[in-house]
Amino acid sequence: MVNIGSNKFKKVWRIEGYNGLSKIFEEDIPTGLLTENKLQMLLQTLTAKASLDYSEIIGALVRRKSKRSNDLLQVTHHKPKPEYSCGENPYFTVRVITID
């Protein structure tokens, strides 16, 4: 018997980290567990942990255009898809994929 209403495919956020061309991290999280705002925070957190010192993290969080500010934790949205990236090297990306 075929269950027409079932959907064996699900959407997940695919989070990947790279150092140059080498993949250093990969994890899938069901889309219902994180909002896009939380995903951006997650990318910033992963980037900070992987590559920034304390002063650089503070600089990324202080008021823009102040003397200490920097763009090291700036999240880029690659429209029109829900796809984001953060960091230079290492850097992290997140996008929606469908898995079975």
pLDDT at 2: 46
Question: How far apart are the C-alpha atoms of 73 and 62, rounded to whole Å?
Answer: 11
pLDDT at 19: 97
Does the pLDDT of residue 39 top 70, yes or no?
Answer: yes
Question: How far apart are the C-alpha atoms of 63 and 69, rounded to whole Å?
Answer: 7
Domains of the chain, by residue range, sit at: 10-99
Q: What is the pTM of this model?
A: 0.85
25 band by pLDDT with thresholds 50, 70 and 90: very high
- Read off the pLDDT of each residue in 14-39 and give the average, rounded to a whole number: 96
The torsion angles phi and psi of 19, rounded to 5 degrees, stand at: -120, 105
Amino acid at 68: R
Write the pLDDT tens digit of every residue in 40-97: 999 999 999 999 999 999 999 999 999 999 999 999 999 988 899 999 999 999 999 9
